[in-house]
């Protein structure tokens, strides 16, 4: 029996004209803290500081609103689909009530900024739609898919001025109730103070 030393083992030579197989890139790893729950401080979620592209051509970081105003963030599955259009238009129709409560409103999906811009323009949406590329924020906040994993989850959060989650509402089918629940929470003085 022969024992080989590491120094005596040579890599196998390739035949002329044969290239090495390309290395596979690893998919991005998303570290999920846990499902975002009422009472959680947003700063423990690293993606709270992520810069997202808007449908209006700019960028925004949700953390930039801490200490300034509450944020209503509604995740929707896909722009220009019936349920998402109904939800987005209901947020549009009640937008003045959100601004009177001092809140910033954002819709968010994995659609491209261009798709979100077309959706916003077609429905006269007065608030920005954010692009969550690769659904990273959706995963970080622990939003589970619906309908046996076929649809991204529909979830609305209200984040108070101090950066604390004060509402988490999930329902794929009661799309207009997302607005009602958010307005109910915003009517509480502790959210805006």
Q: Give catalytic residues, as residue numbers.
A: 84
The pLDDT of residue 146 is 83
Q: pLDDT at residue 144 above 80?
A: yes
CA-closest candidate to residue 105, choices 69, 80, 139, 133? 69
Tell me the pTM. Answer: 0.80
Q: What is the pLDDT of residues 10-64, one digit of tens each?
A: 555 555 665 655 555 544 444 444 589 999 999 988 888 889 999 999 999 999 9
Lowest-pLDDT choice from 7-11, 56-60, 83-87, 152-156: 7-11
d(C-alpha 10, C-alpha 118), whole Å:
58
Angle subtended at Cα 172 by Cα 41 and Cα 101, rounded to the nearest 5 degrees: 50
The pLDDT of residue 30 is 43
Residue 95: left if φ>0, alpha if ψ -120 to 50, beta else—which one? alpha
Lowest-pLDDT choice from 15-24, 126-135, 158-167: 15-24
């Amino acid at each position: 029996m022969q024992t080989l030393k590491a120094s005596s083992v040579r890599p196998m030579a390739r035949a002329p004209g044969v290239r090495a197989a390309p290395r596979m890139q690893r998919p991005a790893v998303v570290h999920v803290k846990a499902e975002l729950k009422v009472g959680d401080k947003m700063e423990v979620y690293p993606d709270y500081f992520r810069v997202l592209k808007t449908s209006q051509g700019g960028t925004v970081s949700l953390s930039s609103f801490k200490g300034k105003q509450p944020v209503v963030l509604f995740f929707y599955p896909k722009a220009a689909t019936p349920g998402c259009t109904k939800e987005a238009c209901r947020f549009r129709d009640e937008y003045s009530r959100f601004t009177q409560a001092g809140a910033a409103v954002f819709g968010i999906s994995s659609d491209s900024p261009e798709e979100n811009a077309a959706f916003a323009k077609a429905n006269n949406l007065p608030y920005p739609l954010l692009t969550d590329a690769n659904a990273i924020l959706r995963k970080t906040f622990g939003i589970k898919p619906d309908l046996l994993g076929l649809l991204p989850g529909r979830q609305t959060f209200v984040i108070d001025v101090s950066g604390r989650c004060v509402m988490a509402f999930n329902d794929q089918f009661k799309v207009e109730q997302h607005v009602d629940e958010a307005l109910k929470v915003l009517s509480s003085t502790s959210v805006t103070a």
